[in-house]
Amino acid sequence: MSMSRRRVAITGIGVVAPGEPGTKAFWERITEGRTATRIVRSFDAAPFRSRLAAECEFDPAREGMSPQEVRRMDRSVQFAVTSAREALADSGVEAKDIPPDRTGVVMGTAVGCTLHLDEEYRVLSDGGRKWIVDPEYAPTHMYDYFVPSAMAAEVAWVAGAEGPVSCISTGCTSGIDSVGRACELIGDGIADVMVAGASDAPLSPITYACFDAIKATSNSNDDPDHALRPFDRSRNGFVLGEGGAALVLEDSERAARRGAHIYAEIAGFASRANAYHMTGLRADGQEMAEAIRAALTQARLPAEAIDYVNAHGTATRQNDRHETAAFKTALGHHAYQIPVSSIKAVVGHSLGGIGTIEVAACALAIEHGVIPPTANLNEQDPELDLDYTPLTAREKHMDVVLTVGSGFGGFQSAMLLARPGSWHA
Amino acid sequence: MKTVVTGLGVLAPNGVGTEAFWAATLGGASGIAPIARFDASGYPVRLAGELTDFDPAQHIPSRLMSQTDALTQMALAAADWALADAAIDAKRIDPFDMGVVTANSVGGFEFGQHELENLWARGPQYVSAYQCFAWFYAVNTGQISIRHGMRGPTGVVVSEQAGGLDAVGQARRHVRHGTRLLVTGGMEAPLCPWAVAAQIPNGRLSNSGDPARGYRPFDAEAAGYVIGEGGAILIVEEAAAAWERGAPRTYGEIAGYQATFDPRPGAGRPPRLAAAMRGALEDAELRTEDIDVVFADAVGVPELDLAEARAIVELFGRFGVPVTAPKTMTGRLNAGGAALDLALALLTLRDAVIPPTINTAVLAAGCDIDLVTTTRSAPVRNILIAARGYGGFNSAMVVRAAA
């Protein structure tokens, strides 16, 4: 673990989150605590227990996509490509500045092209009537929807990447893990520039049926704005969201040499499994604590260096207890002294996509010295005893922030972001 | 620091279990046959490599059977066999010192088809609570980690065929950074009607009905590939740690790995498979003359075969190195196929015998490679394995005989 690794800088950010697309709109929304949750508009959700969604006001044509791109790409891929384009433009990296073979891509997605798979199944099976589905009804680009790697391929084309490119899918930690994997490739000296991100567009009937079946989603259909209430005593689950984000990551020295703006550096990353249950969490939060400790060890930072924790915050009782316990175990008494918050009340839970959206939020928090609040947190659950930053944003100078994710399969991931100069690899 | 493979678990259409698969492969026995899983008479695709000798209920607890797709049942069985092969008792190792990184391309698709049918033919309330994790891509890594109490680093790669090698590359990195052992590899089960129908539009599938002619990579009459199911799970650990615990065997070392991506179609730049191969050799600190055999990606689509042959020629010269594609006996299993090739390469190191490529009779113009079409005995120390994923993904891996 003592080998000298190259440091990794975030030099570009692109976000397609619920509400208007773009990083600026996203940051304004989460710091204002303006929730984007509402009754689903993209399909008729009347038959479902939870009829809520956090939807993106996304028009691919307005984002500059050609009709053929729109046909070829699932909505999740459109988010990925749009956020990658914004991140690349923001970074000022130009294709001519970087050798293609030193540029790579890692994209993450939890459920890939679910929207298209659901819709095409409905057609090929004629509404579920045929087990032997009709292949002649399959659209030309069916295979691009079938294999989620199409997302990484499309982003690689945008970035002109010819180095390591891959797509990963670790459920709801995909968006932290993709950024972490990209950092490893730069840290190991295999690439100099990486576009890393994640995207999901899961708002389809099959997804609603799944989450209805396990009652993980909120059924506060009569109050959509306040449906997702992390750490609140009245919480009753999350609201499905859609969206994605992409980051341009560079070898820090290279970024500094070219005079790039550096939002933050990625100081540590680790993932662990609970080996317990595909959807359940141990109340003691031990494996998330272990991931946090491993990330701190990698960054050679003490727990006391952390200034803010961006929580997973899915507003299920087991999640809230699990991560609260994890923060206490990993950070000790320091956990009580720093603000924790979740942006999910505002932008919903976009499965794999949200991980990178939250990494972007952390980078912006360091940049602006502002902690986005936990919206909808009016009455804190008495069994939770940390400072969850209710309702209003706070100004604070931050050097080091922690973001965590937790997902089906038992996966737990932790990532540390740090202001350049505030830590030493 | 060397990362070695100490255990294998294999399921292939021509053999379930490592030794059955290896014997069938050396004997040129194909597992490709007309699709029997369902009535495919109305489909333009007629052949597949189906597992015929695997009853998951013999290996998987009934509680798990009802909540898993065939994909996961295969992966769980293969992981059990690989751990047993490596003589690992997971209960005696620190849970955080064992990780899982697996690859697949499409998740538990048949389970998904059943639940989509329940949704659209019957209604939302008939969708199984297990659907939320039985079909998704991360299912195998999650279920393997739960079954064996492994709480260390996790990963899931979904980069089509190349993912099978990428997962092992990631696992090797975790070993190098101090994790005691990793369960890794790839598995694939895309043979329900809905999955087969979804693959047809990629335009690369063979429409042949003749098992002996359907999948003939590098052949003058190559006309696509045959799909199939199966894959391999491997146990990787650090060489000295494996020796210290008295591991019964070391199949070989994961000596080199590199991934690259092709330029956008129409960009006028060359494909990047050769660069991946060269990078894997450099990573292994080997020269081209050190490589004794290449396990080819062998798509069976003429222009892709030609591109691969040119990459091999670029590194090794015309007819400069033995090349083989035993996947002609299994079909192309995507992430599972690359992992199976890796398993075969390790068995080739063990027994000093190169398994053959079947069906290919006459090399296509420009495919100037020494294609191994009958089992060939030869001293083998280093093997290069190539895998390409749809869309432009290239991965290459070098395995080396254990010292």
Q: Give dist(CA B136, CA A240) in Å, integer.
A: 16
Q: Name residues of chain B where pLDDT drops below 70.
A: none
**Domain-embedded: residue A290:** yes
The answer on B43 and B191 residing in a single domain is yes
The answer on B240 and B122 residing in a single domain is yes
Give SS3 for B42. coil
Provide, rounded to the nearest whole percent, the portion of chain B with pLDDT above 90.
99
**Shortest CA gap B166–chain A (Å):** 8
**Domain-embedded: residue A297:** yes
Range of the domain at B306: 257-400
Count: domains in chain A: 1
The answer on B209 and B304 residing in a single domain is no
At B131, the amino acid letter reads Q
CA dist list (Å): A62 to A20, A83, A283, B291: 12, 13, 45, 52
Residue A121's pLDDT is: 98
The answer on B263 and B237 residing in a single domain is no
**Shortest CA gap B200–chain A (Å):** 7
Give the end-to-end CA distance of chain B in Å, rounded to a whole number.
13
| DSSP notation for A18-51 | SBSSSHHHHHHHHHHT---EEE--SS--TTSS--
**Domain-embedded: residue A143:** no
**Domain-embedded: residue A133:** no
Q: Give dist(CA B36, CA A344) in Å, integer.
A: 47
Residue A4's pLDDT is: 59
Q: Which residues of B touch A152 (CB under 8 A)?
A: 159, 391, 393
Please count the other Cβ atoms lying within 10 Å of the Cβ belonging to residue B156. Answer: 32
| DSSP notation for B108-170 | SHHHHHHHHHIIIII-GGGS-TTHHHHSSTTHHHHHHHHHHT--S-EEEE--HHHHHHHHHHH
**Domain-embedded: residue A387:** yes
Q: Which residues of B touch A295 (CB under 8 A)?
A: none
Q: Which H/E stretch holds residue A279?
A: none
Residue B224's pLDDT is: 98
**A47/B95 CB distance under 8 A:** no
Q: Quick one: A62 exposed, middle or buried, by C-beta within 10 A (0-12, 13-18, 19+)?
A: exposed
- In the block, tokens 């990195």 appear at B173
With 80 as the cut, is the pLDDT of residue A424 above it?
no
Range of the domain at A98: 8-113+148-418
The answer on B203 and B171 residing in a single domain is yes
Predicted confidence band of residue A425 (pLDDT cuts 50, 70, 90): low
Torsion angle (degrees, nearest 10) of CA B336, B337, B341, B343: 20
With 60 as the cut, is the pLDDT of residue A3 above it?
no
Give residue-wise pLDDT tens across range A40-78. 999 999 999 999 999 999 999 999 999 999 999 999 999
Of B244, B272, B293, the residue that ends a domain is: B244
Residue to mutate among A122, A168, A292, with most B CBs inside 10 A, is A168
Give residue-wise pLDDT tens across range A390-420. 999 999 999 999 999 999 999 999 999 999 9
Q: Which two tokens stand for residue B27?
A: 């004997």
The answer on B150 and B190 residing in a single domain is yes
Residue to mutate among B66, B125, B132, with most A CBs inside 10 A, is B132
Is A58 touching B (CB cutoff 8 A)? no
Across the range A153-158, mean pLDDT stands at 97
To the query of whether residue A349 is one of the catalytic residues in this protein, the response is yes
Is A96 touching B (CB cutoff 8 A)? no
Q: Which two tokens stand for residue B215?
A: 């999948």
The CATH number that applies at residue A326 is 3.40.47.10
Residue A1's pLDDT is: 38
Please count the other Cβ atoms lying within 10 Å of the Cβ belonging to residue B63. Answer: 8
Residue A96's pLDDT is: 76
Q: Which of A124, A206, A410 sits opposite B146 (nearest CB)?
A: A410
The CATH number that applies at residue B237 is 3.40.47.10
Predicted confidence band of residue A5 (pLDDT cuts 50, 70, 90): confident
The answer on B335 and B209 residing in a single domain is no
Q: Which residues of B touch A410 (CB under 8 A)?
A: 142, 145-146
Of B211, B244, B277, the residue that ends a domain is: B244
Q: What's the full length of chain B, in residues?
A: 403
Give residue-wise pLDDT tens across range A313-360. 999 999 999 999 999 999 999 999 999 999 999 999 999 999 999 999
Question: Which neighbouring-strand residues pair with A418?
Answer: A265, A400
Count: domains in chain B: 2
Q: Which residues of A touch B153 (CB under 8 A)?
A: 270-272
The answer on B287 and B212 residing in a single domain is no
Residue B302's pLDDT is: 98
The answer on B273 and B223 residing in a single domain is no
Q: Which two tokens stand for residue A53?
A: 């969604």
Beta strands in A215-262 (DSSP E): 243-251
Q: Which residues of A touch B122 (CB under 8 A)?
A: 128
Of B244, B268, B299, the residue that ends a domain is: B244
Across the range A117-128, mean pLDDT stands at 98
Asked whether the beta carbons of B307 and B394 are under 8 A apart, the reply is no
**Domain-embedded: residue A291:** yes
**Domain-embedded: residue A127:** no
| DSSP notation for A129-196 | T-SS--GGGS-TTHHHHHSTTHHHHHHHHHHT--S-EEEE--GGGHHHHHHHHHHHHHHTTS-SEEEE
Residue B403's pLDDT is: 74
Taking every pair of Cα atoms in chain A, the longest distance, rounded to a whole number of angstroms, is 62
**Domain-embedded: residue A363:** yes
Return the closest-CA partner of residue A210 out of B139, B73, B146, B116. Answer: B116
Return the closest-CA partner of residue A313 out of A251, A390, A246. Answer: A390
**Domain-embedded: residue B252:** no
The answer on B72 and B199 residing in a single domain is yes
Q: A208 to chain B: nearest residue by CA?
A: B124
Give SS3 for A277. coil
Torsion angle (degrees, nearest 10) of CA B4, B6, B11, B17: 150
Is A121 touching B (CB cutoff 8 A)? yes
